[in-house]
Amino acid sequence: MQSLESYDISPQTGFLPSQPPLRRLPSAYFAPWESLMEDCNGLLLAGKLRERVHKLPLLDSIRLQNVQEYRRAFLILCMVSHSYVWGKHEKTLEILPACLAVPWTAIADHLGLCPVVCHAAVVLWNYRLLDKKGPLDLSNLTTLETYTGSLDESWFYLVTTEIEGAGAPCLQAITNSIEHIKDGDYSELIDDLQVVHSALENMNSALQRMYEKCDPYVFYWKIRPYLAGWENMAEVGLPFGLIYEGIDSHWDAETDEYADMSHLSEGERLLRQYRRYAGGSAAQSSLIATFDVAFGVEHHPTGQKSPIKLDSSALLNRDRYTHPQSTKPADELNHPDGSATPQTPPTFVRTNRNRFLRAMRKYMPLNHRKFLEDLEVAANLRPFMLQLQEKQLITHLTEKETRLLELYNGCLNQLKLFRDKHVQIVTLYIVNQSRKGANTGNGGYASDKKEPTPAKATFTPTVPIKEKPDTSEAVTALYPQAALESERGIREGSVSAKVNQFFPQLGLAKHVDPKSGVVRGTGGTNIMPFLKQSRDETNDMKLPIIDPKVDSKTVIPEKSFTDWILRR
Ligand code: HEM
């Protein structure tokens, strides 16, 4: 492994930048972005944001001076663009104007990200210390930007920021542990694992604080819709994704040439403009992924205990937890068997076979992704522990060796507890909220007032509308991104209506029967089996420790060191 700094990781603040993020872009050239950001909440509320965006000049991101400025600009464009697309009780828009799309895409490329909101933008690059010399924790943190202007949204991001800060000391300890294993330095290795253990405890305490100031209702109905991306969003009018105006998808990076489009049909040309990206999620946290890699936690496709080859029905189902979509819907035409899709998430072969978790890596900053990829190769903790485990079958372990096994299991237990708490949070903040429905009767939160043109009249569903729960019509009109229905909301006269005529099989919305109790992740499918499996897979990694005083019989481990090596 290279030094932490070379992966843009700070030994003190981890994946958070070593200095708090920029509060404003200094150059007057970018004043139009800063001033739009300043008014964003107000403009959204007044229904004037889109109007203002249409007046925004097209600025050249090349004039950003350094990585701090790039990150600040990326945050602004994430905030403004998602507010623009989803609106506030407005129809979803499927074309992002060039003044946002062009610089956002260029800045995302520069940072090794996708032009869509992500964990890095709202958590890593979106905080400020109230007292510059004070600690990096909830007693001293505030956000730079939010979609809603609510304290609940700030708290949601800041709890996650604190978790990132609490986990920071682990990164050096983990990379040190690789060397200490090589050198056989058990005392140092014990220290490394103790650092990780207590950091995980602190992370768990921070996660528990989510309940304090982030109201589940506000989170689900007010905040989460803005974090949605444009993947599997057929029912809210984005069956093929989002069009990034001015982004020429006909240019080929390999040949540096513009493709000859003359052979393409009108439909194909239109389709090639769309991009699909998942929305923001802490599943994009490189920190949690680091623990999995370092401890050798094996993740499998949801519902599978061992890797399987996807059959065609799985491809057709388009479940993002087993088969993430390609970024561009047109790829599906070129590779109808789905063979293009695995190129989208970075390919790597080690322990993580869950495609959703793997796909989340492309939403991590390039250097953090690189760190995980290098750690995949360098990580030696689990093979070392498996060796100790095999040794104890033949002979007694030394005190230090036993302590190491205990600490390894202890760290896994803390990670499992983190995922336990997380499952509870998701139950309260998502599953329960989606079942209860929106608080449409309460004028304080969700107004009964609909758009001047009722949503039903502006949509032409192409598949029969299923019977809905009582509240759903109002819910869909007010919070379309939270809808559980499966009809496609293709608007008459829209680009997607045209594309749909040519390719009716593409961008089909998944059918989710509201009565089935299935609750989907942002643009995804049933989240609970996925999250519970991830937790169980963490727990399954614990290794049995034989107490020589008690255990007289030999325990055969489920997975031996040799087995692990063979399966790598
Ligand atoms: C209100 C708080 C939270 C909610 C409602 C929530 C919701 C979710 C959901 C729905 C998923 C499934 C994937 C998706 O659709 O995006 C997920 C995955 C995940 N979340 Fe959260 N989350 C919350 C807070 C956090 C925090 C604070 C962290 C800490 C970094 C975190 C870390 C993760 C991770 C690592 C995954 C991937 C699954 C795994 O590794 O087990 N989440 N979350």
Give me the pLDDT at residue 9, please: 98
Give me the pLDDT at residue 338, please: 55
pLDDT band at 356 (very low <50, low <70, confident <90, very high): confident
Among the atoms of ligand 1, which is closest to the Cα of residue 164?
30
Give the mean model confidence (pLDDT) for residues 371-397. 93
pLDDT digits (tens, 9 = 90+) for 197-232: 999 999 999 999 999 999 999 999 999 999 999 988
Instruction: Please give the Cα distance from 317 to 312 (Å, whole number).
Output: 9
Among the atoms of ligand 1, which is closest to the Cα of residue 281?
16
The CA 352 to ligand 1 mean position distance, Å, reads 17
42 or 552, which is more confident?
42
**ipTM for the whole predicted complex goes beyond 0.85:** yes
Among the atoms of ligand 1, which is closest to the Cα of residue 216?
1
Give me the pLDDT at residue 112, please: 95
328 or 421, which is more confident?
421
pLDDT digits (tens, 9 = 90+) for 15-34: 999 999 999 999 999 999 99
Among the atoms of ligand 1, which is closest to the Cα of residue 524?
15
Give me the pLDDT at residue 523, please: 39
Q: What residue owns the CA closest to ligand 1's atom 32?
A: 282
The CA 281 to ligand 1 mean position distance, Å, reads 6
pLDDT digits (tens, 9 = 90+) for 540-559: 999 988 876 665 555 555 55
Q: What residue owns the CA closest to ligand 1's atom 21?
A: 282
Give me the pLDDT at residue 343, please: 45
Can you give the three-state secondary structure of 501-533, one letter per residue? HHCCCCCCCCCCCHHHCCCECCCCCEHHHHHHH
Give me the pLDDT at residue 484, please: 41
Name the token pair of 128.
């400020």
The CA 324 to ligand 1 mean position distance, Å, reads 17
Among the atoms of ligand 1, which is closest to the Cα of residue 285?
30
Give me the pLDDT at residue 320, please: 59
3-state secondary structure of 260: coil
The CA 422 to ligand 1 mean position distance, Å, reads 7
Instruction: Please give the Cα distance from 353 to 319 (Å, whole number).
Output: 15
The CA 278 to ligand 1 mean position distance, Å, reads 14
Instruction: Please give the Cα distance from 419 to 108 (Å, whole number).
Output: 30
Our mutation pick for probing the ligand 1 site, out of 231, 426, 512, 535, counting the most ligand atoms within 8 A of Cβ, is 426
Least confident of 146-155, 235-244, 280-289: 235-244
- The set of protein residues with a Cβ atom below 6 angstroms from ligand 1 is 156, 159-160, 163, 207, 210, 219, 281-283, 285, 288, 419, 422, 425-426, 429-430, 521-522, 524, 527, 531, 534
Give the mean model confidence (pLDDT) for residues 441-470. 38
Give the mean model confidence (pLDDT) for residues 320-327. 66
Q: What residue owns the CA closest to ligand 1's atom 7?
A: 426
On the question of pLDDT at 41 being above 80, the answer is yes
Among the atoms of ligand 1, which is closest to the Cα of residue 426?
5
Instruction: Please give the Cα distance from 532 to 419 (Å, whole number).
Output: 8
pLDDT digits (tens, 9 = 90+) for 470-488: 444 444 444 544 444 444 5
pLDDT band at 450 (very low <50, low <70, confident <90, very high): very low
pLDDT digits (tens, 9 = 90+) for 97-124: 999 999 999 999 999 999 999 999 999 9
Among the atoms of ligand 1, which is closest to the Cα of residue 123?
30
Q: What residue owns the CA closest to ligand 1's atom 27?
A: 160
The answer to whether 204 and 416 have CB atoms below 8 angstroms apart is: no
Strand-strand pairing, 141-143 and 95-96: unpaired
Among the atoms of ligand 1, which is closest to the Cα of residue 538?
41
Our mutation pick for probing the ligand 1 site, out of 281, 420, 433, counting the most ligand atoms within 8 A of Cβ, is 281
Structural domains of the chain in order of their starting residue, each with its CATH number? 4-436 (1.20.58.480)
Q: What residue owns the CA closest to ligand 1's atom 17?
A: 283
pLDDT digits (tens, 9 = 90+) for 429-447: 999 998 887 765 443 333 3
Give me the pLDDT at residue 79, please: 98
Q: What residue owns the CA closest to ligand 1's atom 10?
A: 521
Q: What residue owns the CA closest to ligand 1's atom 4?
A: 426
308 or 332, which is more confident?
332
On the question of pLDDT at 385 being above 50, the answer is yes
The CA 70 to ligand 1 mean position distance, Å, reads 26
What is the identity of the amino acid at 83?
A: S
Specify the pTM: 0.85
Among the atoms of ligand 1, which is closest to the Cα of residue 521?
15
Instruction: Please give the Cα distance from 86 to 69 (Å, whole number).
Output: 26
On the question of pLDDT at 318 being above 60, the answer is no
pLDDT digits (tens, 9 = 90+) for 138-196: 999 999 999 999 999 999 999 999 999 999 999 999 999 999 999 999 999 999 999 99
Instruction: Please give the Cα distance from 539 to 544 (Å, whole number).
Output: 12
User: In the β-sheet with 274-275, what is the strand arrangement from edge to edge?
Assistant: 95-96, 242-244, 274-275
What one-character DSSP code corresponds to residue 163? H
Q: What residue owns the CA closest to ligand 1's atom 19?
A: 283
Give the mean model confidence (pLDDT) for residues 76-101. 95
What is the identity of the amino acid at 86?
A: W
What percent of the chain is modeled with pLDDT above 90? 59
Instruction: Please give the Cα distance from 31 to 35 (Å, whole number).
Output: 6
The CA 524 to ligand 1 mean position distance, Å, reads 13
Give me the pLDDT at residue 307, please: 46
The CA 368 to ligand 1 mean position distance, Å, reads 18
210 or 270, which is more confident?
210
Give the E-state strand segments of 57-168 in sequence order: 95-96, 127-129, 141-143
Q: What residue owns the CA closest to ligand 1's atom 37?
A: 283
